[in-house]
A and B are shown apart, each in its own frame.
Chain A
Amino acid sequence: MRTKLFTLVPIAAISAVLGLGMLAAQTTAAAEEAKATTQSDPMQFVNGSKTWANTCARCHNMRDPKSLRDDQWRAAIAHMRVRAGLTAEEAKNVLVFLQQSN
């Protein structure tokens, strides 16, 4: 019974983090919408190129921006956001950079 309790505590902690995450997700969605309206912001390209240069050769050789289409980069960057621990904004900026450089 004691061990069961030990299992329950971390699960409760994870659920709490998830709950907070979901709350935060709503605010993020709003922020994302605001970002979408400033899509042509040239700083996204500049910041994206920096994050790309700093991050994308960390684990493997740098892939050429021209190696994928715009839509393929969307999936690949979502995937790499999870791998590399990028924030939503960093991932968005790298995507803008790649989509404008391919």
Chain B
Amino acid sequence: MNTTTRCRKYAWSASALALLAMPALAQMHPERIAELEEQLTALTEQLGELKAELDEAKDNGSIETIRKDVEANKVAIRATQSSTAFTEATSVTHLSGYASADYVSVEDGPAAFVANFNPMFHFLYDNKILWEAELEVEVEENGDTNIGLEYTTVDWFLNDNLTLVAGKFLSPIGNFRQNLHPSWINKLPSAPAGFGHDGAAPISEVGLQIRGGNPVGNNGRITYAAYVGNGPKIEGEDGEIHAVEAEGFASDPDDEKVFGGRVAFLPMPNLEFAVSGATGDVAVVENDGADLEGDPKRGYTVFGFDANYRWSNLDLRGEFVSQEVDAAALSVAPENTKWETWYAQAAYRFGGDSNWEGVVRYTDFKSPHADDTQEQLALGVNYLIAPSAMLKFGYESNEGEPGEITDADRWIVQIAFGY
């Protein structure tokens, strides 16, 4: 009972006692009257004390404190209710992604600022099924906004070790494209040569994928992915295969699917070796800019190998990918054509908890077209603003066909933030 109610109760009891006593006083024994008088005095005293207590409480603000405590409790109760709702509701939505802004200065060319952001959406139902999607939104050179669908997949958790991934997904060939390319992850401001568009490594695929993993032994792990998809589009130009567009198409004009996958073995958590590959039939479906039908089918093979190692402040990564289209004597572009790239990268975080990091990457990209072929040494210094935010200073020493853009060195300053 609080002080105010107690006070009121005493006051009521005292006055009730006094009222009851009135008519009876006349017939009452003087001793009894004295006794009642004593009780009345005692009650009045108690009432005075309680009033004083109450006034004191009012003065030092303890009532206000109690009231605030009660309010805070209510808020806390509400908060726990909502946080259990957050943990237990069957559906969860989550918006994340990353953004970056660069300043690119090319040898003998104009320097420019560029900007882009990649919003990412997740919708999870009951730990059973997840939708994940990412858009790529960037300002183009002419000021237009370019929006691309990087991936959209429905991931169905089939059991402990297998997930079915259906839709447009990042190619599971190698490690860079699926796991390292986002700007807040990539330790250099650019992708290694051959890992971008028209390169050696496929970018994405539209189809079905099954992936998962399992612990092996004490500390090891194996992860696996297998997929079937529409495969790339082969473009011919001037009697040669100009490019293998492996960016995920929602059509398959050559009507031949491509099958592929990746298996990675981690003998310990910080060491990973993986092989990946894809195979299928393809046909030239575009020649000199126009659609082409009926060009003969030919074999298509991708092979990849990647290794990753982390030790203390050192992070080492390397990757090799080759992509080959077989010869077809009757084709508009009859020759066998092969792209090949590899890179090795070392990153070191200076000192124990330092926010500075140094990076070196060597890349050697061989394309059947001399103007695409490039050898590159990239150096970088990064300042880690937060675990998922970096300021990167990068320099690329590029060796390509003289006079081509692939031969121009570049400075790139980039700020990247994964949110």
Contacts and interface: CB of A to CB of B under 8 A. Distances in A.
B215 A63 contact: no
A52 to B, nearest CB: 11
A75 B310 contact: no
Nearest to A19: B158
Interface string A13-26: 01001100110110
Contacts of B96: 76
Interface in A18-55: 18, 21-22, 24-25, 27-28, 31-32, 54-55
Nearest to A10: B259
A83 B179 contact: yes
Contacts of B161: 87
Q: Could you tell me the dominant secondary structure of chain A's interface residues?
A: helix
A55 B208 CA distance: 26
Interface in A65-97: 67, 69-72, 74-76, 78-79, 81-90
Contacts of A7: 256-257
Contact of A84 (B127, B223, B259, B387): B223
Interface residues of A, number: 46
A78 B226 CA distance: 19
A99 B208 CA distance: 32
Contacts of A54: 219, 269-270
A55 B269 contact: yes
A69 B86 contact: yes
A58 B271 CA distance: 9
B159 A28 contact: yes
Nearest to B179: A59
B159 A60 contact: no
B158 A78 contact: no
B340 interface: no
Interface in B81-137: 83, 86-87, 89, 92-94, 96, 122-124, 127, 130, 132
Contacts of A27: 159
Contact of A74 (B124, B226, B308): B124
- Most chain A CB within a 10 A radius of its CB, from B211, B212, B272: B212
Contacts of B418: 60
B408 to A, nearest CB: 30
A12 B47 CA distance: 90
Interface of B: 83, 86-87, 89, 92-94, 96, 122-124, 127, 130, 132, 155, 157-165, 178-180, 182, 184-185, 208, 210-215, 219, 221-224, 226, 228, 256-257, 259, 264, 269-270, 272, 281, 297, 308, 310, 384, 387-388, 418
Kindly list the 8 A-B residue pairs having the minimum CB-CB distance in the complex, ordered from nearest: A85-B213, A85-B223, A21-B158, A75-B94, A54-B269, A71-B86, A24-B159, A75-B122
Interface of A: 3, 7, 10-11, 14, 17-18, 21-22, 24-25, 27-28, 31-32, 54-55, 57-64, 67, 69-72, 74-76, 78-79, 81-90, 99
